[in-house]
Chains A and B, each alone.
Chain A
Amino acid sequence: MSDANATAASTDAAPRFVAALGALPHCISQSPDGPVIEVDVANLHAVLAALRDRAGFEMCSFVTCIDHYPAEPRFALHHQLLSLAHNDRVRVRCVLPGESAPTCTDLWPGANYMERECFDMFGVRFEGHPDLRRLLMPDGYDHYPLRKEFPHHGIEPDRLYREWDRARRASWTEDAQ
């Protein structure tokens, strides 16, 4: 998107979602990518629902998390929303006080995998998520790889494979006996 389109989209979008948010506490700023709405975690789900229902943001482009370690609170959740009808975008930024956040899969079912990936990589628990499992890393993995304190080479990356291999070899000897 060129700069002219970006500024046009942001000026078009601002009055729409300002009216949609109404009395919900929020803080609007401008970023090079467009407008950013900062909300706290208690109002996150209400703001997302208002943006979807009253401002026409019918698509959730992505849900991701940023780790600001060692700052506290460290996790910031980002929802990027897209309005296909109005051709503009808005980002909702929410600093998480802990490691849990409300889910938005009831608003956009497509956010299911993105929240699972967010849980997989950062350990953010989405309350109310229908199926909060790991997406990329194997089940049983103990760590969250995209956290800042996670080392580059991982922590025992072969542990699950070695455990599986040991159990398999042990079953062979049981069969032989």
Chain B
Amino acid sequence: MGSLKPVGPESNEQQGSGFFATRADFLINWSRKNSLWPMPLGLSCCGIELMGLLGPKFDLARFGAEAARFTPRQCDLLIVAGTLTWKMAQAARTIYDQMPDPKWVVAMGVCSSSGGMYDSYSVVQGIDSIMPVDVYVPGCPPRPDAVIDAVLKLQKKIEREDPLGRLIGPATAPRPEEGTGKLVFQPNQGLPKGAWDKHAHDPKSRMPLSDPLPRKTEVKP
């Protein structure tokens, strides 16, 4: 990972007029992840939690993502908060298409993640059937803390992206063919999974205890 520290000869004359050297992809990812512009697509009760998240109490501005714009042309983070019906799906997909690249999607709440309790003919059973999703947030509705966690996870994900791959050629994976309905730009495709891809509550990713806690039956008086 790159860093933002001054380089050059360690002399006192040049300390004030120094310059930075870093990797371009690190710098681009660093600036992208710290200035996410969310597009709030509040479709039901999750939208109320989203308002609380953007307000002063939970204050998404601490993570640089407070500038919610209500036009998709100025946004790069689509937060689908609530129940997406098939009638609304065309509008949601149009909003996603109107957002400029690079863009990310957070499925907030179980309704947008999987349809939730609306196991129905009118509800999209998971918005990943109409658009790619980066982070799923469980909860009905999720607390604003959970969405903050999603934004932090998304920032970790943006850190691992390859922003120059589209300009200088394929870096990790061949580009899918255009016009086939596949996604043209999948920034994390083919990347090895890191520690952030493991769920914190996954027992396989848990650290083994060197000294296991004794069972109740083994406790001696």
Write the residues of chain A forming the contact surface with B, with a CB cutoff of 8 angstroms.
136-138, 145, 150-155, 157-158, 160-161, 164-165, 169, 173
- Can you list 26 A-B contacts (CB < 8 A)? A136-B122, A138-B86, A145-B121, A150-B121, A151-B121, A152-B119, A152-B121, A153-B119, A153-B120, A153-B121, A154-B120, A154-B121, A155-B121, A157-B121, A157-B122, A158-B89, A160-B86, A161-B86, A161-B89, A161-B93, A161-B130, A164-B90, A165-B93, A165-B130, A169-B179, A169-B181
Q: Interface digits, B106-135 against A, CB 8 Å rule (1 contact, 0 not)? A: 000000000000011110100001100000
Does B5 sit at the interface, judged by CB under 8 A? no
CA distance A14 to B150 in the complex (A): 62
Shortest Cβ distance from B129 into chain A, in angstroms?
7
Does B87 sit at the interface, judged by CB under 8 A? yes
Shortest Cβ distance from A81 into chain B, in angstroms?
30
Q: Which residue of B lies closest to A172 (CB)?
A: B179
Shortest Cβ distance from B145 into chain A, in angstroms?
33
Describe B's contact surface by its main secondary structure: loop
Are the C-beta atoms of A154 and B181 separated by less than 8 Å? no
CA distance A133 to B76 in the complex (A): 37
Write the residues of chain B forming the contact surface with A, with a CB cutoff of 8 angstroms.
86-87, 89-90, 93, 119-122, 124, 129-130, 179, 181
CA distance A165 to B94 in the complex (A): 10
Residues in A with CB closer than 8 Å to B181 are 169
Are the C-beta atoms of B122 and A137 separated by less than 8 Å? yes
Residues in A with CB closer than 8 Å to B89 are 158, 161
Residues in B with CB closer than 8 Å to A152 are 119-121
Residues in B with CB closer than 8 Å to A164 are 90
Beyond A161-B93, A169-B181, 13 extra complex contacts between A and B, CB < 8 Å: A136-B122, A138-B87, A145-B121, A145-B122, A151-B121, A152-B121, A155-B121, A157-B121, A158-B86, A161-B86, A161-B90, A165-B93, A169-B179
